[in-house]
Amino acid sequence: MNNFDGLGLHRVLAKSLAHMKYDKPTPIQAQAIPFALQGRDVMGSAQTGTGKTAAFSVPLIEFLLRNERGTALVMTPTRELGKQVMDVMHQLLGPKSNIKTAFLIGGEPMGKQCNQLRNRPRLIVGTPGRISDHVRRANLDLDDTRFLVLDEMDRMLDMGFSIQIDDIVKHIPSERQTLMFSATMPDNIMKMANKYLDNPERVSVGSTFNPAKNIKQEVIHVSMDDKYSMLVKELHARDGSIIIFVKTKRNADKMAKKLSNDEFEAEAIHGDLQQRKRDRVIREYRNKKFRILVATDVISRGLDVPHVEHVINYDLPQVPEDYIHRIGRTARAGAQGSALCLISPQDGRKWHAIEVLMDPSKKSSNKHARNDNSKRKPRKSYGKKFGDNKGKSFSKDSRRSRDDRSEGGEERSFNKPKKFKRDDRSEGEKSFSKPKRFKRDNDRDGERKSNESRGETRNTSSEGDKPFSKKKSYNKDSRPNRSDSRKSNNDSSSGKKFANKGGNNSPKRKFSGDSKKRTAA
């Protein structure tokens, strides 16, 4: 397959390919597209940046144009890759296409996506998490799905989408065509392929563990203290657009701010950004509004920006395979690019793992193969002091792991007794901090009520011994004799306050206006 003309494609699709200047297919496209046009399942793998998106987009659009019924579903691991796939699909469909589409990704309003689904779209692109949400909410019906694409399958499994993918595929008819594409093909991917694909055609182009030949790789060994200053020096020495990869989202924000303070045009992108801001950053970077993009591995796959000339790994990736995808952001579509790694002494093992991945013939040297455990002294066996009654020592194998402890709690951890003791207090146990507060509040309430009613006294019955029980209210006839309870208050100025308010048995008293002496009524 030297060009797309001999495939007999639909006239709309052929016109779109010519407009997009897709003249000569890439190796992965040349091998995968003919099988897919025949209706065969395809399992494809190739180096990043070799045109896998068009390899499944062309047969998918051909299916939609040739058939009036049937829908197509494309799942991608990230929002950025999904947006890129949807843009390619729209270009292939053409501006006047009547085929409706829906874009289902996280970070966007559900209502907007529900409106798209109500229009009965025939092409759906999205991430597994959001697609699964719509399926569970009965917003998305997949009974008529006849074309399924799983893009970057290895990445989706790494991100933990296996459960969502299983739930989605259960709602899709078994009579379908499935295309699975991945940059790598480990054993778990092969198992998923056997599960989802029916006698697929295996298409592989080049080594998936080697970067493109047109990428110039450079390595600089530097201390952690000098790493940023070395980065600034390299940025001044390089021209063109640059992507700097760091390990965490926080580091991405800090790096972009620090570079901006040093008069570099830099923006950060990571998974915590709102979708609107992520779209804005990618759009402005494509349009060369700024020169340096500081990113986490959220864009290590699928981001297609042709003008990226340099990739700098300020932090090495946690997974060796991600190194291939990172540097694959440059040298797209046959262009030239460079990749620089700033390696500190703490990065020795990570870099060695990357080297072994790219060249398995390199055997581990003693320097790198030896891990921290080899530097430790041999573990001494325990004697009778820690043995059983027979004096047998407890070896490593005989000791039960923490996960093997019984659920009954017979073997508890040594750092939790106090916590269990505190949490397991019976309901009858009282807090040491609250009784006084409750008692003080209740006493105040009693005094306040007593002053307001001026005839009520605290309950002195047996029920009054209960500190939190409600006080009994007394009616006018049943109130106790106040002469006994307030005998000490009948003298001095307090008698004025309670004048004519005494109990039923207390003598009434009045005051003479002139002498202000108390006289019995």
Query: What residues pair up with 123 in beta bridges, in sequence order?
Result: 72, 101
Q: pLDDT digit string (tens) for 469-510?
A: 444 444 444 454 544 444 444 444 444 444 444 444 444 444
Q: pLDDT digit string (tens) for 101-127?
A: 999 999 889 999 999 999 999 999 999
- What is the CATH class of 5-205? alpha beta
In percent, the amount of the chain with pLDDT more than 90 equals 46
Q: pLDDT digit string (tens) for 208-262?
A: 666 777 889 999 999 999 999 999 999 999 999 999 999 999 999 999 999 999 9
- The pLDDT assigned to 329 comes to 85
Question: Higher model confidence: residue 326 or residue 360?
Answer: 326
Is the predicted pLDDT of residue 377 greater than 70, yes or no? no
Least confident of 159-168, 192-201, 349-358, 474-483: 474-483
Close Cβ partners of 72 (under 8 Å, ≥ 6 residues apart)? 60, 63, 64, 122, 123, 124, 145, 146, 147, 148, 149
Specify the DSSP class assigned to residue 110: H
Question: Higher model confidence: residue 25 or residue 391?
Answer: 25
Is the predicted pLDDT of residue 411 greater than 60, yes or no? no
Long-range contacts of the stretch 48-51 (C-beta < 8 A, 24+): 48/183, 48/301, 48/324, 48/325, 48/328, 49/212, 49/304, 49/328, 49/329, 49/331, 49/332, 49/333, 50/26, 50/205, 50/206, 51/25, 51/26, 51/333
Q: What pTM value is reported for the model?
A: 0.59
- The pLDDT assigned to 186 comes to 76
Distance, in Å, from the CA atom of 190 to the CA atom of 171, rounded to the nearest integer, reads: 22
Structure tokens at 320: 């060796």
Distance, in Å, from the CA atom of 120 to the CA atom of 145, rounded to the nearest integer, reads: 12
Is the predicted pLDDT of residue 365 greater than 90, yes or no? no
Q: What is the longest distance spanned by two Cα atoms in the chain?
A: 128
The mean per-residue pLDDT over the stretch 138-150 comes to 96
Looking at the chain, which residues constitute the CATH 3.40.50.300 domain(s)? 5-205, 215-364
Long-range contacts of the stretch 100-109 (C-beta < 8 A, 24+): 101/125, 102/126, 104/130, 104/131, 104/134, 104/140, 105/79, 105/130, 105/275, 106/79, 106/130, 106/275, 107/79, 107/274, 107/275, 107/278, 108/275
Nearest to 329 by CA among 366, 287, 286: 286
- The pLDDT assigned to 363 comes to 58
Is the predicted pLDDT of residue 399 greater than 90, yes or no? no
CB-CB contact of 338 with 308 (8 Å): no
Nearest to 63 by CA among 100, 10, 102: 10
Q: pLDDT digit string (tens) for 320-359?
A: 888 888 888 888 766 789 999 999 999 989 999 888 888 8
Per CATH, the number for 215-364 is 3.40.50.300
Query: What residues pair up with 43 in beta bridges, in sequence order?
Result: 180, 202
Rounded to the nearest 5°, which phi and psi values hold at 455?
Answer: -140, -5
CB-CB contact of 341 with 245 (8 Å): no
The pLDDT-based confidence of 284 (bands split at 50, 70, 90) is: very high
Place of tokens 């995808």: 325
